[in-house]
Amino acid sequence: MKITKVSYERLELSLSSPYTIAYETISGATNFILKIETDKGLVGYGCAAPEPTVTRETPDEVEQNIKTSIIPFLLGRNPFMLSETLEGLKTLLSVKSSALAMVDMALLDIVSKKMEVPLYQFLGGYRNSIATSITIGILPLDETLKIASEYVAQGFFVLKIKGGLSLEKDIEKMVYLREKFPNIQLRFDGNQGYSVEDAIAFFTATKDIGIEIFEQPTKVGNGEKLGLVSQKVGIPVMADEGIKSLQDVFRLAQNNFVDMVNIKIMKVGGIVEGMHINSVAKSANIDVMVGCIDECRLGISAGLHFALSKPNIKYADLDGHLDMINDPFKNLFKLEKGILYPTNNPGLGKIDL
């Protein structure tokens, strides 16, 4: 089998509700869709979601790489030689995280379609569904409670609350949320906004609330600050922005700096690399969440299939598509009452554009 044609589309996606995290406010996202066609009639699709802070790429850099490097490199290649192709692109591209994820995704889509199985089954197939959290950005207390009520009414039972700008307001928010929703699961994401002292103070004030996960409270660095927080608090501390490579998870695991890691396909360069990171986490008895950034349903579908494939991937935060107004992808998966289900279609699902 050979790749005979490669094309792409640039999507400018608008969010119905802009949101704020500790270091920026986001109102839209650029995604790229790669389409790889073969001489056997099989077609694979991949998504890139460049974001300068998270993936360290600008949209224009990704588009230039697609035109000048990725398309010429892929033409004529065997899509089953996935590792060879990805390693070649790693050396070819100077900025690469989501661009590599896009190619990785499209090639895996082709291979699993050839096997006539959904991608999650091709990758290992451990479960058939997974609950996802839904995220609330940094908002005033009354707006947070209002939006939380709407999500709970829709059936979501895991809320992830963004914070990191005001320790006092973050504590107040979590206390009120627990009072109003005694039975839902609460997660808190500091998005690097806290000092070690702030993180410990947050835990001390909320330890009776039952927060499930404390995500990336301190700034990305060598991991020592996260390690200090992990030692001092009684809830699982998860690295997110601190996990961009296999080396990152090895260092954090080797030094017992975290209890959990958040693997985002766009951030680490694809599912294949995510599986390597997951293996290191498993060897260190570290639980894994599969997360996302602002991705269309195609990117979310890839994250879902990855999350369903391995036993130590116990958590998902795959809600990045929900506020996108002009997402062209439909029916790649099902979301019912906070639980994500894949379809039984081969690959990433049936693409209806």
What are the structure tokens assigned to 233, written together? 């608090």
240 appears as a binding residue in the annotation: yes
- Please say if 162 is a catalytic residue: yes
336 appears as a binding residue in the annotation: no
DSSP state of 315: E
Which residues, 6 or more positions from 139, have their beta carbon under 8 angstroms from its beta carbon? 20, 147
Give the bridge partners for 8, in sequence order: 34
Q: Contact, 304 vs 118, CB < 8 A?
A: no
Which residues, 6 or more positions from 61, have their beta carbon under 8 angstroms from its beta carbon? 50, 95
DSSP state of 118: B
Question: What residue has token string 């954090």?
Answer: 252
Residue 148: exposure state from Cβ atoms within 10 A (0-12, 13-18, ≥19)? buried
Say how far apart CA 53 and CA 293 lie, in whole Å: 11
Q: At what angle do helices 97-114 and 297-307 cross, to 10 degrees?
A: 70
Among 114, 160, 225, 264, the active-site one is: 264
Among 162, 225, 244, 310, the active-site one is: 162
Strand order in the sheet with 158-162: 134-136, 158-162, 185-189, 211-215, 237-239, 260-264, 287-291, 313-316
Estimate to the nearest angstrom the gap between the alpha carbon of 86 and the chain centroid.
20
Q: Contact, 109 vs 348, CB < 8 A?
A: yes
Closest to 189 in 3D by CA, of 175, 176, 202, 205:
202
- Please say if 264 is a catalytic residue: yes
Closest to 226 in 3D by CA, of 253, 246, 245:
253
Closest to 173 in 3D by CA, of 195, 190, 196, 156:
190
Give the bridge partners for 13, in sequence order: 29
Say how far apart CA 110 and CA 44 lie, in whole Å: 5
Binding residues for Mg(2+): 189, 215, 240
Q: Which of the residues are catalytic? A: 162, 264
